[in-house]
Structure 1
Amino acid sequence: MDVHKRHSLFNRTQEQASFTVFQPGFFNSELEPESLEDFDFEKAPNHNPTVNTITEEDDPIPHSSGVTYHSVVTSCGSAAPMINQQQPPLPESVEEYDMQPIYQKVLKERAVKNYQIFPGNTRFLCGGRLVTSKDYRAFIIALILLITPAALFCVFTCPFLWNQVHPVIPIVFAYLFILAFASMLKTSWTDPGIIPRNLDIPQQEIIDENASSTHASIMSDIAQKQIRIKNTSWSLRYCETCKIYRPPRASHCRQCDNCVEYEDHHCIWLNNCVGKRNYRPFFTFIVTCVILCIYVIAFDVYYLLSIASNSPGRGFGFVFSQAPVSFVLSIYCFFLLWMVGGLTIYHCSLIMRGVTTHEQLRRDIFKLTYPDLGANPYNKRNPLKNMIQVLCQPQPKSYLRRRKMADPVIEKL
């Protein structure tokens, strides 16, 4: 039977609506076998190889029949019935459509690290190794205010000090500047003590019946947690944003949008919160800046007095013309000393009393809420012990496993 005759037989079979199974004939056989075991495959003749050279225009079997291109030759030698494949029904919903691979909806798992999906306003640098906030404009200004006067002092004043006084003076200045610069970067790029989120997710949600249908307010059924501090019951505050019970001395920073342990304040000039893990480099930074200001003022004034003593009878105009940069630099450091010096004195007072800036600002409210504890229950009643507690403790480990792999994120291509 040639190809075109088989095609006619196929079409006639398709026209009969009562038949859904097409049984092809067999080569050189008068009777069809009753089963697959009765068919003699060894005596079946070889097919004409020219049949495989047909083109798409002369294809005798339509593509919609369920018969593949390679079954054109082998269909007559098969003893098993060929069932007409029907197109599967369309899905009833969009979700069912999205999950059916027959429609080529491909899902891909993307491996991410914890810092890549961390919420809030925290910025991670160098693959999650550095932690800072997103608003860095004030930090750039602070860098300029630190680096510019140091560079001017090295260029215009240090040569005189190296040659006329002693080389150790510029070396000490370089050490102080490196210490201040490193402390600034460490404070800005260190995790201040961010507490992980979603540690205490409410189990139940109560919908307010009095709210409108379009704007139904959902109130979390949050249980109160109590701890004891110096035999006094203390209620832990629940953070709705971070979904955690904040431990004592922790606060939620609006700029960073994180709960920070032992948060002192958010410093816009360093673009980071100052908390448990970076308070010591912050204090080192402001103290070193005060020493640098005093250092620059003292040796700039000494440089100006040396010029005046070597030029008797000359006035202020001559001295200013000989060292204008040193004169302006001394005035700049004088005003900077008032600002940074006042901040340093304030934090020295906080350290000796064992309190943070937040606790100092809320001391009256705290005293009214917990009268038995007083305004400061964390004071060790000894300034030296308080200083050791704040400045001499090892840096605790970060709660954030920033570079650990998170659960795979499913993406639809």
Structure 2
Amino acid sequence: MALALSSDKLADPPKLPHWKQWPGNNIFLCHGRIMLGSDVSFLGVTVVLLTGPFVIFILFVGFEIHYSLAIVGAVLFAICLVFLTQAALTDPGILPRSNIPRPDPHQPHQITARGFRYCSTCKLYRPPRAKHCKYCDNCVRQFDHHCPWVGTCVGLRNYRFFVYFVFSVCLTSGFVFATSVAVLVLNTTNSDADGHWINRFADAITSNPASLALVIFTAFVFLSVLGLASYHVNLILQGQTTNENMRQVFRRVHNPNDHGYKKNCDSTFCSRIPISQIHKGIYDEESPAGALLP
């Protein structure tokens, strides 16, 4: 009898965390605590695009007027990196794959009746607002979009960090743009070049070409990111995701997720972030969708 019980225990598969046998296109570090998306190389490009202009700003522009401007620029740059890291390394709300068989389309199901849809890739019932990302190859709760700039999906658990990152980039690029313009104006005013003001402006550019480069670069970044930030502010106020807005899900029907401007903002920025499910045992039989049912 004891031998039979021992053999039964050996037959049971070990409950490994999902990240140890992850079928999606993610990279895990630090025992699964850090989760990278499928666009790690693109994330590196984002870091370079942030760091390069910041180094140029500190070396050639930040101290031209007053050292305090360089300190402010460094603080804003640090804030950008913090929010980028949080958005890129946080589990966006991925639903671990299951082994639920494909349902019979001719028989109604209590889960599908409540807005859940079956994903044939992940073999689970994903809840409303969730979507399967073809780039990361995962189902993500409250899927907003896949952002290559942060290297991963943006969903329920990292959306606020993504928005914070967009806001911080907008603020930082605007600050660097204004400071660089001020340096150009100051150098033009103090120039000893003779003749028209264009000559003095050309002399200012010659003495500090980095300021002009930063003006052009940050002007483009500021206008681009400002449009993106405005778009997401509008989405938050309407209680929609980018995926829902692009598909016009609520064009002709009522949006049940719109609870007014204040509650929508509270839900986005002040609500408790759900616990990640990536450490759940990979052989657990409980359906991730079933666990989300009230």
Query: Of residues 237, 246, 249 in structure 2, which corresponds to 1:352?
Result: 237
Other-structure match for 2:202: 317
Higher relative contact order (CA 8 A, sep 6+): 2
Unaligned runs of 5+ in 1: 1-108, 203-218, 369-373, 408-413
On the 8 A contact 2:141/2:156 being kept in 1, the answer is: yes
Q: Find the partner of 1:146 among 20, 32, 50.
A: 50
User: Counterpart amino acid of 2:42?
Assistant: A
Query: For residue 171 of structure 2, what is the aligned residue in structure 1?
Result: 291
> In structure 1, how many angstroms separate the alpha carbons of the residues matched to 2:178 and 2:26?
40
1:192 to 72, 92, 95: 92
Deviation at 1:405, TM superposition (A): 8.9
Using the TM superposition, give the Cα deviation of residue 339 of structure 1 relative to its aligned residue in structure 2, in angstroms.
Answer: 1.5
Equivalent residues in 2 for 1:33-112, closer than 5 Å: none
Which residue in 2 is equivalent to 1:388?
266
Q: Alpha carbons of 1:377 and 1:188: their partners in 2 closer, same or farther (altered >3 Å)? A: same
Match of 1:168 among 51, 61, 68: 68
The answer to whether the 8 A contact 2:39-2:152 is kept is: no
Question: In the aligned structure 1, how far is the partner of 2:175 from the partner of 2:16?
Answer: 49
Question: Would the aligned equivalents of 1:111 and 1:406 in 2 still touch at CA under 8 Å?
Answer: yes
> Aligned with 2:35: secondary structure?
strand
Tell me the distance in 2 between the aligned counterparts of 1:243 and 1:110: 21
SS in 2 for 1:255: coil
State which drifts further: 279-288 or 334-343.
334-343
- Displacement of 1:227 after TM fit? 6.2
Deviation per CA, 1:290-337, whole angstroms, max 9, x where unpaired?
Answer: 001110111111111111111254422211111101111111000111
Which residue matches 1:221? 104
Please tell me whether residue 254 in structure 1 is matched to residue 138 in structure 2.
no
Kept after mapping to 2: 8 A contact 1:251/1:261: yes
Q: What is the alpha-carbon distance in structure 1 between the residues aligned to residue 189 and residue 131 of structure 2?
A: 57
Distance 1:197 1:389 in 2: 27
Residue segments in structure 2 that go unaligned for 5+ positions in a row: 1-12, 285-294
Q: 1:378 aligns with which of 254, 257, 271?
A: 257
What is the aligned-residue RMSD (CA, Å)? Answer: 2.4
Question: Per-residue CA shift, 1:233-255, capped at 9, x if unaligned?
Answer: 64421111111111111111111
- Tell me what 1:76 maps to: none
Q: Which amino acid aligns with 1:398?
A: S
Query: How far apart, CA to CA, are the structure 1 residues paired with 2:271 and 2:201?
Result: 51
Deviations 1:119-168 (A, max 9, x none): 11121122211112233221111111111001100111112233xxxx43
Q: 2:3 maps to what in 1? A: none
Paired amino acid for 1:275: G
Q: Offset at 1:221?
A: 3.1
Runs of 4+ in 1 over 4 A off after TM superposition: 109-113, 404-407
Cα separation, 1, equivalents of 2:272 and 2:72: 27
Tell me the percent identity. 36
Work out which of the residue numbers 156, 175, 182 in structure 2 matches 1:302. 182
The answer for the alignment partner of 2:20 in structure 1 is 116
Q: Judging changes above 3 Å, is the alpha-carbon distance between structure 1 residues 149 and 249 closer, same or farther for their aligned structure 2 residues?
A: same
Q: Distance in 2 between matches of 1:358 and 1:333?
A: 28
1:367 CA drift (Å): 5.4
Q: Which residue of 1 aligns with 2:157?
A: 277
Contact 1:194 1:259 in 2 (8 A): yes
Between Structure 1 and Structure 2, the one with more helix by share is: 2
Distance 2:130 2:16 in 1: 29
Aligned length: 266
Deviates further, 278-287 or 124-133 = 124-133
Give the TM-score, by structure 1 length. 0.60
Aligned pairs for 1:229-244 (under 5 A) are 234-244=114-124
Q: Is the 8 A contact 2:17 2:278 kept in 1?
A: no
1:286 positional shift: 0.5
Q: Contact 1:157–1:300 at 8 Å: present in 2 too?
A: yes
SS in 1 for 2:95: coil
> What SS class does the counterpart of residue 325 from structure 1 fall into?
helix
Residue pair 1:156, 1:325 contacting (<8 A) in 2 also: yes
Contact 1:225 1:236 in 2 (8 A): no
Mark the structure with the bigger radius of gyration: 1
> Secondary structure in 2 aligned to 1:259?
strand
